[in-house]
Structures are given as structure tokens and as C-alpha cells.
Amino acid sequence: MLDKMESAMKGDHQHKMNKYACGCAIVASMISIIFGYDTGVMSGAMIFIKEDLKINDTQVEVLAGILNLCAFVGSLLAGRTSDWIGRRYTIVVASFIFLVGAVLMGYAPTYAILMTGRCIAGIGVGFALLLAPVYSAEISSPSYRGLLMSLPELCISLGILLGYISNYFFSHLSLTLGWRMMLGVAGIPSLALMAGILKMPESPRWLVMQGRVGEAKKVLLLVSNTKEEAEYRLQDIKMAAGIDASCTDDVVKIPDDKKGGKGVWKEILKPSPPVRWILLACIGIHFFEHATGIEAVVLYSPRIFKKAGVIDKHKLLLATIGVGLTKTTCILVATFMLDKAGRRRLLLTSVGGMIVALATLGFSLTIAEHSKEQILWALCLSIVATYTFVAFFSIGLGPITWVYSSEIFPLRLRAQGASLGVAVNRLTNAGISMSFLSLSNAITIGGSFFLFSAVAIVAWCFFFFLCPETKGKSLEDIEELFTRKSSSADIELKTKAELSSS
């Protein structure tokens, strides 16, 4: 039986993507488009909000960063909520929260109401950032899990690009109407997502955690290419949930120590050595994703280009669209490379390129800022370095952060463990968003990017020593990679020995 299952998992059909699983991941990832749009559109909207509402730079920083502080709260709530009501209904909740936030921001007669809408949208962001990759991970087969799990990051980039494009077209409207339209239209996809998500199946791993094995099997038959593959995946999930592999009941009582949500925070706060390593890797990759400066580029790219010498507002917004196009294109490329090249190789290549691009951007902006007249080569080098940084970020660190952190946790810790990573991600993002203008005023904008380059060097070392390769491993096997006594080769030998003995 084991030989048959192994053959089913390793055969050619295993490497063919299941269309139903792909469709589910695409729908779930659409919530990330809304988040990306909220991030991207604010970069241009802030130019007009500042002029219309007469706010200062500090208020602009708070407006930019408050989304992420509220997302920190949302991400912590999302983990427990998704373990309670399921991944699918939690995405519905997030869509409704986004809708309310978009309506308030689109209305916003005052700065206070605009901030309220931004805060509510931020809570939705926290939900979205956790649920889309976790849901995609839990319906995917190992051979194409990287591709489906990178879809949320691709959708974030697509949303950012749409936000930039929205900035450009709505900027031609009147001052009071333009930025409100930019922010308010985000409510439209929220309605569409709420309708679409209800037609999707629940995560089979969540269903097993609830003891609903029969329902989980039906879902696995839909998202697997063969009955044997579905059975193999079900056996792995049942073992992880503490269910006897020979049990054929459709409804099973799950041991209290295996149920998602119960005792999870205790295990996370007092972790075993493998879980401690997993937590460190998860928190580290989320921290470095934003500590290396991507938010400064995405959110403040109009200011960066202005410092480099681009003055006209419409030209600034057009140059910013180039950032969005670069980000989306490179993440699309990375989506198809993750399961071939592997997470680790792309991650190290990505951060290595970012180090060089950030140092180049720091140099060119320093030259442009301290020159009394516009220097064309410094302007061009600044734009090229900005696009290069975004490109390297997008082929590795951007998508891999969400793939890696959502796949390394054991089943019962996944939702709330990943939510902790998202919380760190949002806090770091908020810190960069709310301090970049002050930082660039204190040490110059060029100095800021030299600082980000130094952080990227530390990040490269962290990933090299603490992040093992997870490509091709089942979610239930990945925990073994974080046990220092077990290398990936040991695991393969152990698996072969078990199969031969059977």
C-alpha cells in the first residue's frame, strides 16, 4: 500500500497542477489585491491629501503607517479566528472589514475619519496577510505548493500596480474628489470576493483538526490529481492531528493537545527546540522583509524620484507605475521558479542583489541631493537602482517570506504561529512607514538607503545559516528539517528504510 501511495505521489500526475486547487488559491489570494491596492494607492493619494486636508509630514507618516499597526492587531486576531470558524469564513470577515474601511476612506470629510477608515482597513490587512498563504498552503500538493503560496504576494504586487495606475488617472479629477475616488474604489472587489469565497471548499487540514475527516477527504479528492494522492495526503494530515491512520470514521474526536487553538500559545511561548528554530526563522524572515526598505520604496517612491530630480506630479506618478510593473513582473517570474529553483537559492540571490542595489541607490541619491544643479546620470542611476532593488526583492524575499513562514509550522501551530510572523511583519512595516521621512531628514535620504543596505547584509547571513530548503517536502515532513539531528538526507534515508521494511 505504501509503495502504491509513494508511486502515486512521485508519478507524473503529481507534477501536474490540480486546476481546482489552483482556482481556490487564486480566489483566496484576491484579498491580497485589495491590500496591495490600499498600500500602492496611498503613495500617490498622500500628495493630494496633504494639500487638501492641510496636514504636515508627521500626520502623513502616521497615515501611512497606521494601516500596519492595525494590521498587527488584525493578524493576531486572525490566527485564533481562523482556528475557530475556519479559513474560508475568516476570509469573508476580512473582506467585509475591507469594505467598511474603503467606504469610510472614500467619504472622509476630515483627517480623523480618514484615519478611522485606514485603521479599519488595517485590521482587514492583518486577516488577509495570514489567511491567503495559509489557505493556499493547506490545499496544495508539495510539488506546486510554492507556486500557489506565492500567488498572494503576486496579488499584492498587482494591487500595488493598480493603486499606482489609479493614482495617475484619478489625479486628473478635482483635488477634493480625486484622492477620495482613489481610496474608495477598493470597496468594489471586497464585495466580489465575499461572493466568490463562499463557493470554495474549507481547508482539509482545518477540517481534520475539527475531527471532520470525511469532509476533508472529499476536499482532498477535489484538490488532488488521483484518489491515491488524496489518500496519501489524508494519512499525513491524520497522523499530524493525532488520529490513527487506520481509522476510517468520517467524524473523529481529536485529542485536546492536538486541537488547533487550544494550548497553542503555551507551546509557542515555551517551544521545543524545533519549534523554537521555526519561530526564529519565521520572525526573522518577516522582520527582514521590511527592515531592508521595500516599504520606503513602495510608499515613498514619488519622494525618492523627486529627490533624484523628477519634479512634475504626473511624471512622478508615471515613474511610480514603473515600480509597480517591475514588482509585479518579477514576482510573476518568481512564482514559476519557486518549485524549481527552491526557496533558499532564490532567497540568497534576491538579498545579494538587494544589497548592491540599495548601496547604489544610496550613492546616487547622495550625489543628487548634494549637487546644486540636476545631474542626469545621478537621476538615471537612482531610477535604475530603484527598479533593480524592487526586481531583486520581488524574485525572492517578497514572495518567499509568505511561502516559507506559512509552510514551516506544524499543523496545529500553523495559523497562530504564522499570525505571530505577520504581526512582526506589520510592526516592522509600520516602523519603516512612520519613520522614513524623519530618518531621511536626520541622516539624508541617501544615508537611509545605505542603512538599509547594511541591514540586508545581516539578513543574508541570517538566511544562510538559519533557513533550510523546504522545496518538495510535505507540510507534515518540514518540521523534521528544523531538528538539528536530522538533515534532509537523513529524512530521505529514513523514509526509504520504512518503505522497504514494509
Position of cell 541631493? 369
Any idea what DSSP says for residue 210?
T
Do 300 and 108 contact (CB within 8 A), yes or no? Answer: no
3-state secondary structure 338-401: HHHHCHHHHHHHHHHHHHHHHHHHHHHHHHHHHCCCCCHHHHHHHHHHHHHHHHHHHHCHHHHH
CA dihedral 394→395→397→399, nearest 10 degrees, is 80
Topology of 262-494 in CATH?
Answer: Growth Hormone; Chain: A; (1.20.1250)
Q: Which three cell numbers stand for residue 392?
A: 531583486
Query: What type of residue sits at position 227?
Result: K
Digit-coded pLDDT (tens) for 288-307: 999 999 988 877 777 777 77
* pLDDT computed for residue 5 by the predictor: 42
CA dihedral 216→218→224→227, nearest 10 degrees, is 120
- Compute the distance between CA of residue 136 and CA of residue 29 in angstroms, rounded to an integer: 8
* pLDDT computed for residue 292 by the predictor: 95
Digit-coded pLDDT (tens) for 65-97: 788 788 888 888 888 888 888 888 898 898 899
* pLDDT computed for residue 187 by the predictor: 86
Angle subtended by helix axes 213-223 and 227-240, to nearest 10: 140
* pLDDT computed for residue 262 by the predictor: 55
Q: Which residues of the chain have pLDDT under 70?
A: 1-15, 255-263, 308-311, 313, 476, 484-502
* pLDDT computed for residue 317 by the predictor: 75
* pLDDT computed for residue 448 by the predictor: 92
- Compute the distance between CA of residue 230 and CA of residue 14 in angstroms, rounded to an integer: 11
Q: Which three cell numbers stand for residue 345?
A: 537559492
Do 137 and 153 contact (CB within 8 A), yes or no? Answer: no
Digit-coded pLDDT (tens) for 310-326: 667 677 777 778 888 88
* pLDDT computed for residue 324 by the predictor: 83
Do 401 and 285 contact (CB within 8 A), yes or no? Answer: yes
Domain ranges in the chain are 20-251, 262-494
Provide the 10 A C-beta neighbour count for residue 109.
10
Q: Which three cell numbers stand for residue 27?
A: 480566489
Provide the 10 A C-beta neighbour count for residue 493.
11
* pLDDT computed for residue 255 by the predictor: 62
Q: Which three cell numbers stand for residue 70?
A: 492595525
* pLDDT computed for residue 487 by the predictor: 44
* pLDDT computed for residue 249 by the predictor: 82
Q: Which three cell numbers stand for residue 190?
A: 471586497
CB-based contacts of 344: which residues, under 8 Å, 6+ apart? Answer: 463, 467, 468, 469, 471
* pLDDT computed for residue 450 by the predictor: 95
The full length of the chain comes to 502
Q: In CATH terms, are 20-251 and 262-494 the same topology?
A: yes
Query: What type of residue sits at position 80?
Result: R
What phi and psi values does residue 312 have, to the nearest 5 degrees? -60, 135
Listed residue (46, 166, 172) closest to 115, CA to CA: 46
- Compute the distance between CA of residue 212 and CA of residue 109 in angstroms, rounded to an integer: 49
Question: E strands of 309-349, at which residues?
Answer: none
Q: Class assignment of domain 20-251?
A: mainly alpha
Do 488 and 472 contact (CB within 8 A), yes or no? Answer: no
Q: How far is residue 134 from each of residues 51, 137, 282, 477, measured CA to CA in Å?
A: 40, 5, 13, 17
Any idea what DSSP says for residue 172?
T
Query: What type of residue sits at position 317?
Result: L
Do 338 and 403 contact (CB within 8 A), yes or no? Answer: yes
* pLDDT computed for residue 145 by the predictor: 79
